[in-house]
């Protein structure tokens, strides 16, 4: 088993916008690059690294998933969402419901499947490939997501606080046939 954490802080769309999901992909790409550097320094086994043969092209983008359908690996995710509006919040600026949080986060962790998920995005300068956690969310074996009130928000404007979340994702990668 391999275990590591990813995090996100900022607005999190619960309406399923492709733009928001793509922004999450780019955000997680930066963390996965640091993780890749760690793997290289630690001389991780080749089956647990971002490999050139895993690259897939969708539109103008090259995605490189850490875990693919053919890798014989599965993923468990423990997701903690902290927001100013906890469950059953009566605020006039609710941050959304848990199932939409989950869908947005999961889509941000996987590669785009079609051009519809990319829309009008184009690669940034020097953005040769995007590292993503997984090829498809079918690779997820277990998902645990919880939403709690953030008791230590960092924004002064209360209208903005309620729209911002902090997300901590514990990623565990297992061999598919390890019971």
Domain containing residue 157: 2-175
pLDDT in tens, the chain (179 residues): 889 999 999 888 877 788 888 899 999 999 999 999 998 898 888 778 898 899 999 988 999 999 999 999 999 999 999 887 766 666 544 555 778 889 999 999 999 998 788 877 777 888 789 999 999 999 999 999 998 887 766 655 555 555 688 999 999 999 987 65
Asked whether the beta carbons of 5 and 172 are under 8 A apart, the reply is: no
Other C-beta atoms lying within 10 Å of the C-beta of residue 81: 23
pTM of the predicted protein model: 0.87
pLDDT at 116: 81
**Beta strand segments in the chain, E:** 2-11, 56-58, 61-67, 73-83, 130-134, 140-149, 164-175
Q: At 50, is the secondary structure helix, strand, or coil?
A: coil
**Residue whose C-alpha is closest to residue 13's, from 3, 2, 26, 22:** 22
pLDDT at 76: 97
pLDDT at 92: 47
Chain mean position to CA 117: 15
Residue 10 Ramachandran class (φ > 0 left, ψ -120 to 50 alpha, else beta):
left
pLDDT at 157: 54
pLDDT at 88: 66
Domains of the chain: total: 1
**Residue whose C-alpha is closest to residue 14's, from 97, 94, 87:** 97
pLDDT at 7: 97
pLDDT at 14: 75
């Amino acid at each position: 088993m391999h275990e590591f954490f990813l995090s996100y802080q900022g607005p999190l769309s619960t309406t399923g916008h492709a733009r928001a999901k793509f922004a999450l992909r780019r955000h997680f790409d930066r963390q996965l690059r640091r993780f890749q550097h760690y793997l290289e320094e630690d001389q991780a086994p080749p089956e647990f690294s971002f490999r050139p043969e895993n690259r897939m092209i969708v539109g103008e983008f090259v995605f490189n998933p850490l875990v693919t359908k053919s890798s014989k690996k599965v993923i468990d995710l423990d997701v903690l969402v902290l927001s100013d509006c906890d469950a059953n919040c009566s605020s006039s600026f609710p941050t959304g419901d848990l199932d939409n949080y989950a869908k947005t986060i999961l889509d941000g962790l996987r590669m785009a499947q079609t051009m519809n998920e990319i829309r009008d995005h184009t690669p940034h300068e020097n953005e040769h490939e995007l590292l993503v956690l997984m090829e498809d969310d079918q690779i997820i074996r277990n998902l645990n997501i919880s939403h709690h009130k953030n008791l230590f928000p960092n924004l002064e404007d209360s209208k903005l606080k309620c729209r911002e979340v902090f997300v901590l994702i514990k990623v565990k990668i297992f061999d598919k046939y390890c019971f």
